[in-house]
Amino acid sequence: MVLAAGVGSRLDPLTSEVPKPLVPVAGLPVMEHLLRLLQEHGFGEVCANLHYLPEKIESYFKKHKLEGIDLSFHREEKLSGDAGGVRACQSFLKHGTFIVLSGDLLTDANLTHIVNEHKSKGAIATIAIRAVQDVTHFGVAVLKENGFISGFQEKPKAEEALSNLISTGIYVLEPAVFDYIPKGGEYGFGRQLFPELVKLGLPVLGVKIDDYWSDVGTIQQYRLSNFDALTGKVKVKLPGRKAGDVGHPLWLSSGSRIESDSVKGALMLGVNSVVEKGAKINGTVIVGDNCLIGAGAEVTDSVVWDDVEIGKKASLTRCVIASNYVVAPSAKLADAAVVAQELPV
């Protein structure tokens, strides 16, 4: 199951018109990367709960079906927490061991290993965990020597954290967990279900992962996750074709053109997108389909969605530009995330 119902408020304004599961990471929606990961590990039946802009998610995956993936959706009229969202799909999940992925993850985690550990240890629930420096935005787990979890905190203050091991939003569960989720109301994994299972002495396992993992739920982390995908730090499918790697990767798509000789960084260029003569590309830059980077423009460490025009001599630094935006000639944007409703004066 993929948890895809959230509004994505931390990605605002990017999610004002695009649901979080569809925000593009290196040319493909983040949820598509998750589905491809599930596909790679042999999961054929997937359910996703939806709430915010559900029709857009349904429409995209109706047009972009993945071979071997039978994807179904469950719409929630009212958000009910992540465990509540799983409860809503109980009829789909009740027949055996199942895996749950948070819909804002970019990862190449070894899901097969996590499931095998879960089954071999006889756990009712397994949480994929990893060590991080800042635990304040995550659920924190305390492990026994045998790998089972003895304590769990949800988003503790740094000085109150019991460990530096955090939940990655990857769970393997037995249908028996439904016996511990109330029939109605909002209910969460981190604040309620997992602490309750631990309190009752039930076997909740923690499996440490060292694979690439990123929560793309903030603007900065979203931008950095895009860069990691393009530069190969995470093993995901990239659209287009690799056209070169002279110190930095270059990915091109059909109809894309680079007329400039000032590409000094990693670049992904979408279908029919053009970098005009004299434009400069620095750092890591991802450009969607049908975009124009005008002559003399300079783009540094930025993510540009589809159908964007960057005017001549404009400058973008550490920006995310949503679809259909027009950056005025000679405009200067830095550390910005903008959508088309915010047309520059």
pLDDT of 118: 99
pLDDT of 341: 65
Cα–Cα distance between 339 and 64 in angstroms, integer? 24
Q: What secondary structure does DSSP assign to 94-119, as a single string?
A: TTS-EEEEETTEEE---HHHHHHHHH
| Number of separate domains in the chain | 2
**pTM as predicted:** 0.95
Give the domain CATH number at 57.
3.90.550.10
Rg, Å, the chain Cα set: 21
For range 223-250, the mean pLDDT: 92
Phi, psi of 319 (to 5 degrees): -115, 160
Q: What percent of the chain has pLDDT over 70?
A: 98
Closest by CA to 151, choosing from 220, 94, 206, 76, is 206
Shared domain check, 197 and 252: no
**Distances from the Cα of 185 to the Cαs of 67, 82, 116, in angstroms?**
36, 11, 32
Instruction: Please indicate, yes or no, if residue 111 is contained in any of the structural domains.
Output: yes
Shared domain check, 251 and 311: yes
Per-residue burial over 158-196, b = 16 or more CB atoms within 10 Å of its CB, e = otherwise: eeebebebbbbbbbbbbeebeebbeeeeebbbbbbbbbb
Per-residue burial over 44-57, b = 16 or more CB atoms within 10 Å of its CB, e = otherwise: eebbbbbbbbbeeb
Instruction: Please indicate, yes or no, if residue 77 is contained in any of the structural domains.
Output: yes
Phi, psi of 118 (to 5 degrees): -55, -50
Residue 308 has pLDDT above 50, yes or no: yes
Domain boundary among 180, 215, 250: 215
pLDDT of 248: 84
Cα–Cα distance between 226 and 14 in angstroms, integer? 14
Shared domain check, 102 and 11: yes
Give the domain CATH number at 314.
2.160.10.10
pLDDT of 344: 44
Residue 137 has pLDDT above 90, yes or no: no
For range 78-104, the mean pLDDT: 96
Q: Give the tokens for residue 164.
A: 């530096």
Q: Could you report the per-residue pLDDT of 200-213, keeping only the tens digit for each?
A: 999 999 999 999 99
DSSP structural state of residue 340: G
CA dihedral (9, 15, 20, 25) in degrees, to 10, reads: -120
Shared domain check, 250 and 176: no
pLDDT of 220: 96
Shared domain check, 247 and 196: no
Shared domain check, 157 and 246: no
Instruction: Please indicate, yes or no, if residue 233 is contained in any of the structural domains.
Output: no
Q: Give the tokens for residue 279.
A: 């434009």
Helical residues (DSSP H) of the chain, grouped into ranges? 30-40, 54-63, 82-88, 90-93, 111-121, 194-199, 219-230
Shared domain check, 257 and 209: no
Q: Could you report the per-residue pLDDT of 34-44, keeping only the tens digit for each?
A: 999 999 999 99
Amino acid at 5: A
Q: What percent of the chain has pLDDT over 90?
A: 94
Cis bond upstream, residue 175 (ω within 30): no
For range 143-163, the mean pLDDT: 92
Q: Could you report the per-residue pLDDT of 107-124, keeping only the tens digit for each?
A: 999 999 999 999 999 999
| Sequence-separated (6 or more) residues with CB below 8 Å from residue 40 | none
In terms of residues, how long is the chain? 345
Cα–Cα distance between 14 and 21 in angstroms, integer? 12
pLDDT of 245: 75
Shared domain check, 175 and 35: yes
Band of pLDDT at residue 235, cut at 50, 70 and 90: very high
Residue 77 has pLDDT above 90, yes or no: yes
Residue 155 has pLDDT above 90, yes or no: no
Mean pLDDT in the chain? Answer: 95
Domain with 69 in it: 2-215
Shared domain check, 274 and 205: no
Domain boundary among 199, 215, 231: 215
Residue 343 has pLDDT above 50, yes or no: no
pLDDT of 128: 98
For range 208-224, the mean pLDDT: 96
Closest by CA to 149, choosing from 138, 140, 158, is 140
Q: Give the tokens for residue 69.
A: 């993936």
Q: Give the tokens for residue 179.
A: 């016996």
